[in-house]
């Protein structure tokens, strides 16, 4: 018996080249999958996001005694019902305000053109005809109205054709079904992926995955709540003060708040521009300005500290770059994957930085 055990040789050890080849191979395969199947991956990535978002409440229902499949079905049905209720309540109002925007586009274009002509006339009187002549004044006034008309037509074309870009049938039918199966099998899928980890680095990989999950879950769930609260506030407040397109502007400002500063700047500029075109006096413009200022105070000192706080280690510049880079590389799919990839890269960068600061590369004293 001892001879049998002595004849057993230890398992072969992987070389450094094999480890590097495995890592590079996984990255290349993932990149090729995204490149080749980007056009069909959107509903599956959306379903994975739904499963990730709904896994904590589903696990709570399981702990209360429900089978995992029933709990997953309940959560998916609740999500679909919430989205349908939201669409039924807001779709007629959004459609009405979109029609109002289209109908008033010529009026807004004429107002902008008139304002630009007045400003150029004032500049001409101040600096003289040598600097600002009549041709420049007429050109600026005409182009200002043309630019606004172009922007309005672009926005309306996006509203009219945006759903076709995302393939309504695929998103509305395939995504909930795939989301249900992923949510039902989420623990088994996680355990299966965990069993594939290389044994030598399994502990380190699990620790980094837990860190990514902590940051990502805090960002996704906290940012979603912040966007909803800001959209509700801006839509209600701008509508109450009498801004005609307050609902659309408010929803857009809240929805774009997941991109740092973009939602606030876009909503603020749009609301003030519409207020200047709509209200004949400064009283209405001042009310819109007060709504925007209060919204910034709530966002900076109440909503974001409460729902995000210091748990999210994603700098604003890094998030903006990731969203734009993902959109440029893979379109809307890249935008959906941008934040998870950015969170993963951030965690890995901090991990390697800690290793570097403890390594001889950093600790070696100067020569001599």
pLDDT tens-digit series, residues 257-311: 877 777 888 888 888 888 887 887 788 889 999 999 999 998 888 887 777 765 5
- Kindly state the average pLDDT of the residues 201-217: 89
- Residue 116 pLDDT: 64
Most confident of 17-21, 331-335, 355-359: 355-359
- Residue 236 pLDDT: 92
Q: Is the pLDDT of residue 74 over 90?
A: yes
- Kindly state the average pLDDT of the residues 348-356: 90
Residues whose CB falls within 8 Å of the CB of residue 248, separated by 6 or more in sequence, listed in order: 94, 97, 98, 101
In a domain, 184, yes or no: no
> How high is the mean pLDDT of the chain?
79
DSSP one-letter code for 198: -
- Residue 164 pLDDT: 45
Q: Would you say 76 and 183 are in contact if contact means Cβ atoms under 8 Å apart? A: yes
In a domain, 244, yes or no: yes
- DSSP letters for 201-253: GHHHHHHHHHHHHHHHHHHHHHHHHHHHHHHHHHHHHHHHTT-TTHHHHHHHH
Q: Could you give phi then psi for residue 249, rounded to 5 degrees?
A: -65, -45
pTM score, two decimals?
0.71
pLDDT digits (tens, 9 = 90+) for 168-178: 566 778 889 99
CA dihedral 270→275→278→283, nearest 10 degrees, is 180
What distance in Å separates the CA atoms of residue 184 and residue 50, rounded to the nearest whole number?
12
- Residue 222 pLDDT: 83
- Residue 181 pLDDT: 95
pLDDT digits (tens, 9 = 90+) for 108-129: 666 666 666 666 677 666 666 5
- Residue 163 pLDDT: 43
- Residue 278 pLDDT: 80
In a domain, 271, yes or no: yes
Q: Is the pLDDT of residue 82 over 80?
A: yes
Domain of 279, in residue numbers: 208-312
- DSSP letters for 314-357: --HHHHHHHHHHHHHHHTHHHHHHHHHHHHHHHHHHHHHHHHHH
- Residue 170 pLDDT: 65
In a domain, 362, yes or no: no
What distance in Å separates the CA atoms of residue 232 and residue 264, rounded to the nearest whole number?
14
- Residue 43 pLDDT: 86
- Residue 128 pLDDT: 60
The fraction of the chain above a pLDDT of 90, given in percent, is 23
Using the Cα atoms of residue 117, residue 118, residue 124 and residue 129 in order, give the sign of their dihedral: positive
pLDDT digits (tens, 9 = 90+) for 141-173: 555 555 555 555 555 554 444 444 445 566 778
In a domain, 275, yes or no: yes
In a domain, 43, yes or no: no
**Total domain count for the chain?**
1
pLDDT digits (tens, 9 = 90+) for 223-262: 888 889 999 999 999 989 988 888 888 988 888 887 777 7
What distance in Å separates the CA atoms of residue 264 and residue 256, rounded to the nearest whole number?
8
In a domain, 217, yes or no: yes
Q: How many CB atoms lie within 10 A of CB 83?
A: 12
Q: How many CB atoms lie within 10 A of CB 121?
A: 14
Which of the residue ranges 51-60, 88-97, 128-137, 153-162 would you say has the lowest mean pLDDT?
A: 153-162
What distance in Å separates the CA atoms of residue 323 and residue 96, rounded to the nearest whole number?
31
- Residue 277 pLDDT: 77
- Residue 162 pLDDT: 44
Using the Cα atoms of residue 131, residue 133, residue 136 and residue 140 in order, give the sign of their dihedral: positive
- Residue 129 pLDDT: 57
In a domain, 326, yes or no: no
């Amino acid at each position: 018996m001892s001879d049998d055990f002595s004849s057993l040789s230890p398992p072969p050890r992987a070389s450094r080249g094999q480890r590097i080849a495995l890592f590079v191979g996984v990255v290349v395969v993932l990149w090729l999958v995204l490149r080749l199947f980007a056009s069909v991956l959107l509903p599956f990535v959306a379903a994975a996001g739904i499963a990730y978002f709904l896994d904590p409440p589903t696990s709570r229902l399981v702990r209360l005694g429900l089978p995992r499949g029933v709990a997953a079905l309940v959560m998916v049905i609740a999500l679909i019902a919430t989205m349908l209720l939201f669409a039924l309540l807001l779709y007629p109002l959004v459609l009405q305000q979109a029609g109002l925007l289209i109908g008033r586009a010529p009026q807004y274009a004429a107002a902008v053109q008139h304002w630009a002509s007045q400003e150029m006339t004032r500049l001409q009187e101040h600096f003289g005809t040598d600097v600002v002549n009549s041709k420049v004044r007429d050109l600026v006034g005409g182009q200002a109205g043309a630019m606004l008309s172009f922007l309005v037509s672009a926005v309306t074309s996006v509203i009219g054709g945006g759903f076709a870009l995302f393939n309504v049938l695929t998103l509305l039918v395939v995504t909930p079904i795939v989301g249900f199966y992923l949510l039902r099998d989420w623990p088994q899928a996680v355990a299966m992926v965990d069993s594939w980890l290389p044994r030598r680095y399994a502990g380190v990989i699990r620790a980094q995955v837990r860190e990514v999950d902590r940051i990502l879950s805090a960002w996704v769930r906290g940012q979603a709540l912040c966007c909803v609260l800001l959209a509700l506030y801006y839509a209600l407040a701008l509508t109450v003060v009498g801004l005609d397109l307050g609902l659309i502007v408010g929803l857009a400002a809240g929805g774009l708040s997941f991109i740092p500063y973009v939602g606030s700047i876009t909503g603020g500029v749009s609301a003030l521009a519409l207020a200047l075109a709509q209200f004949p006096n400064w009283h209405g413009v001042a009310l819109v300005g007060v709504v925007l200022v209060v919204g910034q105070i709530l966002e900076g000192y109440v909503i974001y500290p409460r729902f995000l706080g210091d748990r999210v280690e994603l700098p604003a510049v890094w998030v903006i770059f990731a969203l734009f880079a993902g959109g440029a590389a893979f379109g809307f799919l890249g935008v959906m994957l941008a934040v998870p990839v950015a969170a993963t890269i951030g965690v890995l960068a901090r991990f390697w930085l800690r290793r570097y600061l403890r390594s001889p590369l950093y600790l070696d004293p100067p020569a001599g």
